[in-house]
Amino acid sequence: MKKIILIALILHSKLAFSDALFDSLLTNLNTPLTQISFIQKSTSSTDNVAINYYEKGNGPKVLVFIHGYSCNSNYWWAQLEHFSKTFKVISVDLGGHGLSGQNRTDYNMSQFGQDVVAVMDHANINEAILIGHSMGGPVAVEAAVILKDRVRAIIGIDTLHDIAKEPASTFVKLMVGTMFRFSQ
């Protein structure tokens, strides 16, 4: 939402203000995550594709952000900056996106789910909330099926996914068994 508001401000500022202000706002929109103190890391997925991810924060709970089709980790920069004050946040560049490898032979939800699993394993994350935008929603479900009780919850943003189909229905059954567990 902040990105949309920022874009609206950019459009408005272009009409009403100087080119310097317009350029400043546009630069902030395109600021790489490493320039706002995120740590960039990399691991390999099950098909040996390099998977880039960013990490920030030291909170006891972990949020893993998964972008949609043709996006990358920069999509989440405003949310990452905000939530890193309270949580440990991780943002994944899925295979073929952002700075991750492009040498994958089969791009599908299952393999993207494996990318998320690889990142959680590499970052030693025992439990997380997965947050997926658009295509990132089904990717979060695919990852959760593999990760089982390591996923505390899934938050889908602007995502449409038929959870009646396998393996998503399997995930729903798994989540029902963990809905009422309490944090220690």
Domain boundaries defined on the chain: 1-30, 34-176
Phi, psi of 33 (to 5 degrees): -60, -35
Task: Give the C-alpha separation, 31 to 26, whole Å.
Answer: 9
Handedness of CA 129, 42, 45, 99 (dihedral sign): positive
The pLDDT confidence band at residue 171, using thresholds 50, 70 and 90, is low
The pLDDT confidence band at residue 158, using thresholds 50, 70 and 90, is confident
| DSSP β-bridge partners for residue 128 | 151
Token duo for residue 159: 């995502």
pLDDT at position 101 is: 96
pLDDT at position 168 is: 55
| DSSP β-bridge partners for residue 130 | 64, 154
Count CA within 13 A, CB hemisphere, residue 97: 22
pTM of the model: 0.73
Classify domain 34-176 by CATH architecture.
3-Layer(aba) Sandwich (3.40)
Asked whether 91 and 80 are in contact (CB, 8 A), the reply is yes
Asked whether 108 and 129 are in contact (CB, 8 A), the reply is no
Over the stretch 81-139, which tens digit does the pLDDT of each residue have? Answer: 899 999 999 999 999 999 999 999 989 999 999 999 999 999 999 999 999 999 999 99
Task: Give the C-alpha separation, 156 to 136, whole Å.
Answer: 8
For range 63-72, the mean pLDDT? 95
Over the stretch 33-61, which tens digit does the pLDDT of each residue have? Answer: 556 688 999 999 999 999 999 999 998 99
Token duo for residue 131: 């947050």
